[in-house]
Amino acid sequence: MNEIETIQKWIATCNRIVFFGGAGVSTESGIPDFRSKDGLYNQHDIQFDSFTPEYLLSHSCLRDHPDVFYEFYRQKMDCRDIEPNITHQKLAALEQAGKLSAVVTQNIDGLHQKAGSQNVFELHGTTLKNYCTNCGTHYPADYIFQSSEAIPKCSCGGTIRPDVVLYEEGLDDATVSGAIRAISQADMIIIGGTSLAVYPAAGLLQYFHGNHMVLINKSATPMDSKADLVLQTGLGEVFSQISIP
């Protein structure tokens, strides 16, 4: 039995599958990841070269250099016109078939929901929502990208920011609790497109006590030795061969 057949067999026997994904899920939609050779952190732009990528996406940058933060955000983080790929689509289909109970994602692009997934825990927030830091008023996805103001302001005078978890900020408690609950109840977990280098997100995998752990990533991860099946390949290569029960 080959690897795809093994995954297919496990999917057939499980009804509480959780998918835990990272940037590699969306690279096949044209969104660069962060740490690879061609990733966001290795793109050199003279406009931002005096800052580290981590700083440009940090709470400190938003607070101390908001003009730089918003310019970088507008140039690099706009996902509104990006379409889901085969992995997003197959995961949504698995949920609709009653096989997948949740997606836990480190991505902020909203592509899982765009593909049709309903139960998605976005650990790092989303670029598709914005809110006022003063009064809490919510603003649509387009607002920051289309605003004529360098630093978008609410009618109350507060700054409008993306609903994204920046460096130096904590994860949302309710989102983490929901993700932990889904992972702890899962009978199978598929980990895909993540180096498992970002904490505390990667630490949530300790709550998995189910039957099958599948890890799909182009490079080795710290969890490889604990997985029941490891495929060092692209997610599209795998999910394009998965049929929905």
Q: How far is CA 11 from CA 6, 132, 145, 227, in A?
A: 9, 43, 40, 16
Spatial CB neighbours of 76, under 8 Å, sequence gap ≥ 6 = 40
Domains assigned to the chain: 3-30+84-124+171-239 (3.40.50.1220), 40-79+133-164 (no CATH)
- Catalytic center residues: 124
Beta bridge partners of 153: 159
- pLDDT 10s digit of each residue in the chain, 245 long? 599 999 999 999 999 999 999 999 999 999 876 554 445 555 556 567 788 888 999 999 999 999 999 999 998 899 999 999 999 999 999 999 999 999 999 999 999 999 999 999 999 999 999 999 999 999 998 999 999 899 999 999 999 999 999 999 999 999 999 999 999 999 999 999 999 988 888 899 999 999 999 999 999 999 999 999 999 999 999 999 999 98
0.85 surpassed by pTM: yes
